[in-house]
Amino acid sequence: MRAPPPAALALLLALAALAPGHAQAQREAPPAPPPPAGPALAAELAQPRIAVDTAFSGAELLVFGATDRLLGPAGDNVVVLGIGPGRDVVVRRRVKRLGIWVNGPSAHFREVPNYYALTATAPVAGLLEEAARRERRLGLDMLTARIPGPRDPEFRRALIELKRGSEQWNEEEAPVEVSGGRLFHARLPLPSTIAPGDYVVQVLLVRANRIIARQELPFRVDRVGATARIANVSRNQPLLYGLACIALAALAGWLGSVIFRRG
């Protein structure tokens, strides 16, 4: 049997190189890149709008979310801070003169948040350094340290007592609750005296004493119903509002005198 000519042998080698198995090996795609990692922190509000009417006696704002790693003593931690718009506040010291308590020296503080609520999965003082807590106003002592006004520590302590007494400020009264290792939720108390306006909730993810992720969740407080109408009249027609208050007070006094006279 004769060997194939050189030209035929070259053709056979070329056809073998183009066989399906060989072509598939040549066209193999590179391995796919790994899927992108999800966010380290995802949080949301259950109710981004709070309606205040005449029957409003306070509420709770639910904040919930998830993290990419486990939460707890050996893992990450979550800090939740709710804060409201700032306004000026005057703190007065009561002094006793001639046996009567009267207003004494006062201190004027500016840009004081009318609402402040702080909670976390662990005490905040052990999660972050003082500089980081001061920058983020995490803690009532850190909050008041950044409020413009007199530096007298007694007046600043009095400001904290005033706001805590009216339930407008609270600090770590209930911890952030963790479920399933990575899910969390917190309930921020809203007092009955909360003022209308724009508020914000800051959710911070802390890892190894550092803030590695942050989210801001805005919410709004609005007056509705009769409360909204009364507020609009007092703001837009103060004279009419004042006359109506005087008339109501006179009517209440007259009714009281009639009732007690009959008794």
Whether residues 190 and 217 share a domain: the answer is: yes
pLDDT-derived band at 250 (thresholds 50, 70, 90) equals confident
- Which whole-number Å values give the CA distances from 43 to 17, 25, 67, 78, 252, in the listed order? 58, 47, 9, 11, 50
Residue numbers of the domain that contains 216:
41-222
- Which whole-number Å values give the CA distances from 50 to 119, 223, 224, in the listed order? 20, 9, 10
- Going by C-alpha positions, the residue among 217, 143, 224, 211 that lies closest to residue 186 is 217
Q: For the segment 203-220, what is each residue's pLDDT rounded down to a tens digit?
A: 999 999 999 999 999 999
Number of folded domains in the chain?
2
Whether residues 114 and 243 share a domain: the answer is: no
C-alpha–C-alpha distance, residues 224 and 222, integer Å: 6
Is residue 167 assigned to a domain? Answer: yes
Q: What pLDDT does residue 100 have?
A: 83
Query: Sign of the CA dihedral 134, 140, 143, 149?
Result: negative
Q: For the segment 167-204, what is each residue's pLDDT rounded down to a tens digit?
A: 999 999 999 999 999 999 999 999 999 999 999 999 99
Give mean pLDDT, residues 19-36.
53
Q: Which is more confidently placed, 251 or 72? A: 72
What is the percentage of the chain residues whose pLDDT exceeds 70?
76
Whether residues 117 and 98 share a domain: the answer is: yes
Using the structure block, give the residue that is written with the tokens 């409003």: 56
Is residue 53 assigned to a domain? Answer: yes
Q: For the segment 99-139, what is each residue's pLDDT rounded down to a tens digit?
A: 788 888 899 999 999 999 999 999 999 999 999 999 999 99
- Read off the tokens for 216: 């801001």
Whether residues 79 and 169 share a domain: the answer is: yes
Give mean pLDDT, residues 247-262.
72
Whether residues 195 and 247 share a domain: the answer is: no
Whether residues 230 and 144 share a domain: the answer is: no
C-alpha–C-alpha distance, residues 12 and 16, integer Å: 6
Is residue 26 assigned to a domain? Answer: no
Whether residues 203 and 229 share a domain: the answer is: no
Is residue 21 assigned to a domain? Answer: no
Is residue 125 assigned to a domain? Answer: yes
The CATH number linked to 214 is 2.60.40
Whether residues 212 and 94 share a domain: the answer is: yes
C-alpha–C-alpha distance, residues 61 and 81, integer Å: 12
Whether residues 216 and 233 share a domain: the answer is: no
Q: What pLDDT does residue 37 have?
A: 60
Whether residues 231 and 201 share a domain: the answer is: no
Instruction: Tell me the whole-structure pTM to 2 decimals.
Output: 0.74
Is residue 1 assigned to a domain? Answer: no
Is residue 170 assigned to a domain? Answer: yes
C-alpha–C-alpha distance, residues 77 and 248, integer Å: 53
Whether residues 167 and 249 share a domain: the answer is: no
Is residue 100 assigned to a domain? Answer: yes
Whether residues 101 and 122 share a domain: the answer is: yes
pLDDT at 27 exceeding the cut of 60: no
